[in-house]
Amino acid sequence: MTSANPRHPDFPIPGGPKLRAKGWRQEGLLRLLENVLAVGEDPSNLVVYAALGRAARNWPAHKAIVQALTTMEEDQTLVIQSGKPVGLLRTHAKAPLVIMANCNIVGQWAKAEIFYELERKGLICWGGLTAGAWQYIGSQGVIQGTYEIFMRIAERRFGGTLAGRFILTAGLGGMGGSQPLAGRMAGAAILTIDIDPERARKRKEIGYLEVIAPDLDTALTMIEAAKSERRALSVGLVGNAADIYPEIARRGIVPDVVTDQTAAHDLVFGYVPRTRSLDEARAMRKTAPEQLMEESRASIVDHVRAMLTFQSRGAEVFDNGNLIRTHAREGGLANAFDIPIFTEAYLRPLFARAIGPFRWMALSGDPKDIAAIDDLVLRLFGDNQIVSNWIKLARQYVPFEGLPARIAWLGHGERSELALGVNELVADGTLKGPVAFSRDHLDAAGMAHPNIMTENMRDGSDAIADWPLLDAMALCSSQADLVAVHSGGGGYAGYMTSAGVTLIADGTAAAAERLAMSLDNDTGLGVIRYADAGYGEAIDEVSLKHIPHIQL
């Protein structure tokens, strides 16, 4: 049984009790593949988010993946290479059902030009972090992270609230679309610019954005009114951020918080330079990609220069993980890195304790299953301020897209405790169906990204990709259902390596074993990674939670 998907009618939302595969583990992964397309940005081209982040390499590959998931036995492992299934190995019932590697290119060859060439030849595809591994849940996937950043800023600079404060940002795409809602949840008046009117319309339609202003003057008047009344408000504006940021600076207006989440990582298929209309840029993607790259880089320089101006006038400015500083520096803006990265500036103490973006999806398709899990989270972690505050807010504000899902930043021991509790609710019939657990690849053990996750690590280990590779191997050894290793990032090559994991809680004892072992080893390794780098929070967590860290 599927339900209608008004956004993409050809991609219905999966759900219901009927199995098409030979077990819930296979069926669960199949539903997650269907779900990333149902909530994706451009599913007819298999694009889920982050400009080119795809769920499968091409349609024949997609068809073969669906066929394999539908027919495979529990003692087989499907092997996927950059979105294309290449083998169905005989393994055993405790082995992962799916292992995948997306967009990994050997060091010296890991360059944008080589990625684009391999992509054109149909040999590789960019899986984003969660697109290729079928873990994307729509804009909700990063919303708590963005909200927590805003709240850390509120605590440090504005007496604990962003009421009466102005946030300026850009990007209303798959991930960036979470910003207006996160800003409103934090109490702010938030203005988000996007060059594509269709994206703005979409975010308004699904309830992430309240109003779209017809022009900059109207937008600023709305923001000013909301600020003075200390009223939370999200305003969208169609335009190029590389024009609008400098114009706001020219008028002498200083927002309280400034960031950006345009698809600046991709100078061809993501960012639109101020010198081109959206249609012109789209046409040039095929006809003149090098020219487009050059113009995008030049625009990013203007865009980031305006961000630096706001910073020099007292605004809190940060990079929200889209490599905009990296491209600005390559374009000649030497001080682009005066802008801090969000991970180091606000979230590292959480990551050091392996507290990160954990999420779960109700495979039944029934929102009541998520409501019951919300209740369980509040019962188990009611005294955890961050978690209980978030669940209450999310219930009130966050609309579901696709399969009902929830994200919550949980740490070592908490993730497995929740998952085992949910597995029992599946077993005793409280929930209508099994539940899938996953996380963003941007997690303690899961990622090496020297310009985002691991910038300025205390021991200088920023660029060492051993950690996510070890994580993936540990997860395979711990009976996870799906394990993925991705590389890519900006320009899709050479910027990061990450590991992802998915588990299906189907109410069985075998699932309980898989959940406990995989989730604890994943977060345990995360804590070990930060303890190894010398973070005090991680060293404390090792002794407090008896994590098996070997200290030399």
Shorter beta-carbon distance to ligand NAD: residue 432 or 449: 449
**Residue for token pair 């997860």:** 475
Nearest approach in angstroms of CB 414 to ligand NAD is 20
* Contacts to ligand NAD from residues 106-145, by CB under 6 A: 142, 145
Q: Which of 64, 133, 263, 408 binds ligand NAD (CB under 6 A)?
A: 263
Residue 430 among known ligand-binding residues: no
Instruction: Give me 344's structure tokens.
Output: 């180091």
Shorter beta-carbon distance to ligand NAD: residue 96 or 468: 468
Residue 264 among known ligand-binding residues: yes
Shorter beta-carbon distance to ligand NAD: residue 24 or 49: 49
Residue 263 among known ligand-binding residues: yes
Nearest approach in angstroms of CB 48 to ligand NAD is 8
Whether 15 and 365 have beta carbons less than 8 Å apart is answered as: yes
Question: Taking CB under 6 A as the rule, does residue 444 contact ligand NAD?
Answer: no
Between strands 189-194 and 233-238, the pairing is parallel
Q: Within a 10 A sphere around the Cβ of 10, how many other Cβ atoms?
A: 9
Nearest-angstrom CA–CA distance, 187 and 238: 23
Question: Taking CB under 6 A as the rule, does residue 41 contact ligand NAD?
Answer: yes
Shorter beta-carbon distance to ligand NAD: residue 192 or 309: 192
Nearest-angstrom CA–CA distance, 191 and 345: 22
**For helices 367-381 and 414-427, what crossing angle results, to 10°?**
130
For the chain, helix (H) and strand (E) counts, in that order, are: 19, 17
Q: What is the 3-state secondary structure (H, E, C) of 251-306?
A: CCCCCCEECCCCCCCCCCCCCCCCCCCHHHHHHHHHHCHHHHHHHHHHHHHHHHHH
- Buried b vs exposed e over 346-360: b needs ≥16 C-beta within 10 Å? bbbebbbbbbbbbbb
- CA triple 85-87-90, angle to 5 deg: 135
Residue 240 among known ligand-binding residues: yes
Q: Which of 13, 36, 38, 49 binds ligand NAD (CB under 6 A)?
A: 49
| Pattern 240-259, ligand NAD, x by CB under 6 A | xxx-----------------
| Pattern 311-330, ligand NAD, x by CB under 6 A | ---------xxx--------
Nearest-angstrom CA–CA distance, 88 and 95: 12
Rg (CA), the chain: 22
Strands (E), 106-165: none
Question: Taking CB under 6 A as the rule, does residue 419 contact ligand NAD?
Answer: no
Binding footprint of ligand NAD, residue count (CB under 6 A): 33
Nearest approach in angstroms of CB 150 to ligand NAD is 13
Residue 174 among known ligand-binding residues: yes
Shorter beta-carbon distance to ligand NAD: residue 27 or 260: 260
Shorter beta-carbon distance to ligand NAD: residue 320 or 479: 320
Any bridge partners for residue 488, and if so which? 496
Nearest residue to the partner ligand NAD, using Cβ: 173
Nearest-angstrom CA–CA distance, 333 and 327: 9
Shorter beta-carbon distance to ligand NAD: residue 213 or 517: 213
3-state secondary structure of 446: coil
* Contacts to ligand NAD from residues 147-176, by CB under 6 A: 170-176
Whether 521 and 446 have beta carbons less than 8 Å apart is answered as: no
Closest CA to 527 of 439, 415, 444, 408: 444
Question: Taking CB under 6 A as the rule, does residue 361 contact ligand NAD?
Answer: no
Residue 549 among known ligand-binding residues: no
Whether 58 and 32 have beta carbons less than 8 Å apart is answered as: no
Q: Which of 133, 222, 264, 408 binds ligand NAD (CB under 6 A)?
A: 264
Instruction: Give me 460's structure tokens.
Output: 């200088």
* Contacts to ligand NAD from residues 385-404, by CB under 6 A: none
* DSSP code at position 332: T
Stretch that binds ligand NAD, among 117-125, 265-273, 500-508, 518-526 (CB under 6 A): 265-273
Residue 243 among known ligand-binding residues: no
The set of residues, in sequence order, having a beta carbon less than 8 Å from that of 483 and lying 6+ positions away, is: 96, 98, 99, 100, 472, 475, 476, 499, 500, 501
Instruction: Give me 379's structure tokens.
Output: 């019962």
Residue 265 among known ligand-binding residues: yes
Q: Which of 102, 104, 259, 262 binds ligand NAD (CB under 6 A)?
A: 262
Q: Which of 270, 365, 524, 526 binds ligand NAD (CB under 6 A)?
A: 270
| Pattern 198-227, ligand NAD, x by CB under 6 A | -x----------------------------
- Binding residues for NAD(+) are 174-176, 194, 199, 240-241, 261-265, 271-272, 490
Binding residues: 174-176, 194, 199, 240-241, 261-265, 271-272, 490
Residues that bind ligand NAD (CB under 6 A): 41, 49-51, 142, 145, 170-176, 193-196, 199, 240-242, 261-265, 270-272, 320-322, 442
